[in-house]
Amino acid sequence: MRFTISAAKPEDCKDIERMIMELAVYENMPDQVKISHKELERDGFGPNPFYHCLVAEVPEEHKSKDGNTTVGYVIFFYTYSTWKGRTVYMEDLYVMPEFRGNGIGKALLGAVAKEAKDQLCSRLQFSVLDWNKPSLDFYMAKGAEDLTAKEGWHFLRFHGMALDNLAQEAP
């Protein structure tokens, strides 16, 4: 199947919003999604964007059963390791189920890896749920390391009242 990968444009944000929800449903956490295409437009396309996004599109003749031609996306941003310097963090990589097996996920991942190399990043990082065996297998087969299993890194978060309380301790 032919497809193209290109930088997302603001008008892609409704499709991205739709696929973010599809991915959250797959991850059993659809209630967590509090974002809409409006925030995605505001945060991804200014002079200092909070994220970068690539979308995968298929020709009209291959459109999905619901009529979509934008069938996958990847969202990433630049982070920083105080041990190794510039790093890319991949927040989401998603291909609609009916379009899997055509190399679209591999192409999206490859495009992010190339961005990482072009920007002198030595690492591409991301998070996967421990029960999501298909995704873990996909990444491990390509040489990913599981830092939680190997070194014991746990992922922590402050939000809501806990974050508000911390902010009040600012000097």
Query: Hey, which residues between 118 and 137 contact its own copies (CB under 8 A)?
Result: 122-131, 136
Residue closer to its own copies, measured from CB, 65 or 159: 159
Segment contacting its own copies by CB under 8 A, of 7-15, 43-51, 61-69? 43-51
User: Considering the rule CB under 8 A, would residue 170 count as an interface residue with its own copies?
Assistant: yes
Residues 3-42, mask of contacts with its own copies (x by CB under 8 A): -xx--------------x--xx----x--xxxx---x---
d(CA 110, CA 140): 15
Residue closer to its own copies, measured from CB, 9 or 106: 106
User: From the CB of 68, what's the least distance to its own copies, in Å?
Assistant: 18
CA-derived radius of gyration, the chain? 17
Q: DSSP letter for 40, please.
A: H
Packing angle, helices 37-44 and 13-26, rounded to 10: 120
51 noted as active-site residue? no
User: Considering the rule CB under 8 A, would residue 1 count as an interface residue with its own copies?
Assistant: no
Q: DSSP letter for 32, please.
A: G
User: From the CB of 139, what's the least distance to its own copies, in Å?
Assistant: 6
Indicate which residue of 73, 89, 94, 139 is catalytic: 139
d(CA 129, CA 8): 26
| Distances in whole angstroms, Cα of residue 164 to Cα of each of 26, 33, 122 | 31, 21, 35
User: From the CB of 67, what's the least distance to its own copies, in Å?
Assistant: 23
8 A C-beta contact, residue 115 and residue 151: no
Query: Hey, which residues between 55 and 114 contact its own copies (CB under 8 A)?
Result: 75, 77-86, 89, 91-92, 106-107, 109-111, 113-114
From 49, 56, 46, 81, select the one nearest 1 (Cα to Cα).
56
d(CA 82, CA 54): 27
Known catalytic residues are: 139
